Homo-oligomer: A and B are copies of this chain.
C-alpha cells in the first residue's frame, strides 16, 4: 500500500521519472485546454453554437482535475499541509467553481475563478527543467521587494499630488471630474500607458503633463536598476562557489576551479 502511495507521489509530485514527465505533460495539456474552453465560452457567438460541447468539456476537465486532486491528497505525506498550501488552494479553486455552478446557475463570478487554473502551470515550471531559472528570478525579486516598496511609496505620493494638481488646473469637461479620476489619469501618464481617454487640454495642464511624462520616463530607471543589480548578485552567487582554499582559506573560486587562484593549492 505504501509502495503504491510512494510510486504515485513520484509520478504526481516529481518530474525525474518518465512517468512523472508524462504526467506533467498531460497536466499542461489539460490546464491549457480547460482555460481555452473558459475563454471560448465567454465569446457570445461561439457559446451560441458550441455551448453544449464546451459545457461537456468543462465537466470533463473538472472530473479529471478532481481525480487528480483526490490522488494528490491520498499520496502526499501531510494531506492537510498540502490542502492549505498555495498550490493546494489553487488546485481546489480549479474544480470548485464548476460544482458550485450546479447550485448557483448563471453566476459569471465563477468564470474568473476558473481562469485561476492558469496558475497551476507554475507548479510544473517549478518542478521541471526551469527550476533553476525560477529560483533565480524569485530570489532576485525577493531581494528587491523592500527597495521596490520604498520606490512605490515615493511613486504613489507623487501620483497623488500630480493628480490633485491636475484636478485644479484642468476643468471638469476635459475628464478630470474628481481627484480619484485625476489620479487615474496620472497613473495612465506616469506609467507611459497613455490611453488618451482623458488628456489635458489647457496650456497649463499640458505643461504639467509634459513634466510628468518626462519624470515617468526617467524614474522607470529606478525599479529597473534595483532588479538588475539584484539579478546580477543572484547570478554571481550561483556562479561563485562558497568553497574556501584549504591552504590560504580564500574564497571566491569559480565552480570549475580545481586549484586555488591565489596560492595554487589543490582545492
A interface list, Cβ under 8 A from B: 35, 38-39, 42-44, 108-109, 111-112, 114-116, 118-119, 121-122, 125, 129-130, 133-134, 136-137, 140-141, 146-157, 160-161, 163-165, 167-168, 177-181, 183-184, 187-197, 199, 203, 206-207, 209-210, 213-214, 216-218, 220-233, 235, 252-266
A224 / chain B contacts, CB cutoff of 8 Å: 220-221, 224-225, 227-228
Known interface pairs A116-B161, A264-B265; 4 further A-B residue pairs with C-beta atoms within 8 A, sorted by A's residue number: A112-B164, A137-B226, A191-B216, A193-B216
- Return chain B residues, CB-CB under 8 Å to A178: 39, 42-44
Q: From DSSP, what is the main secondary structure of chain A's interface residues?
A: helix
Given contacts A165-B112, A203-B180, A225-B140, contact A259 B256 (CB under 8 A): no
Q: How far is it, in angstroms, between the C-alpha of A212 and the C-alpha of B205 when the chains are bound?
A: 23
Are A257 and B261 in contact, CB atoms less than 8 angstroms apart? yes
A146–B118 touching, CB < 8 Å: no
A233 to B214, CA, bound (A): 25
| Contact with A167, one of B35, B42, B258 (Cβ below 8 angstroms) | B42
Check A150/B167 contact, CB under 8 A, given A44-B177, A192-B217.
no
CA distance A118 to B158 in the complex (A): 9
Nearest B residue to A108 via CB reads B168
CB pair B195–A192 under 8 Å, yes or no, is no
Q: Are A262 and B259 in contact (CB under 8 A)?
A: yes
A148 cross-chain contacts in B, Cβ below 8 A: 218
User: A213 contacts which of B122, B187, B223, B228 (Cβ < 8 Å)?
Assistant: B187
- 22 residue pairs from A and B, CB less than 8 Å apart: A42-B178, A115-B161, A116-B161, A121-B153, A133-B149, A181-B206, A183-B210, A187-B210, A187-B213, A190-B217, A191-B217, A192-B192, A193-B213, A193-B216, A196-B197, A221-B228, A225-B229, A225-B232, A228-B228, A229-B235, A257-B261, A258-B263
Cβ contact within 8 Å between B233 and A233: no
List, in ascending order, chain B residues with CB within 8 A of A235's CB. Answer: 229, 233
Contacts of A42 in B (CB 8 A): 167, 178-180
Q: A227: which of B125, B216, B222 is its contact (CB, 8 Å)?
A: B222
Contacts of A155 in B (CB 8 A): 214
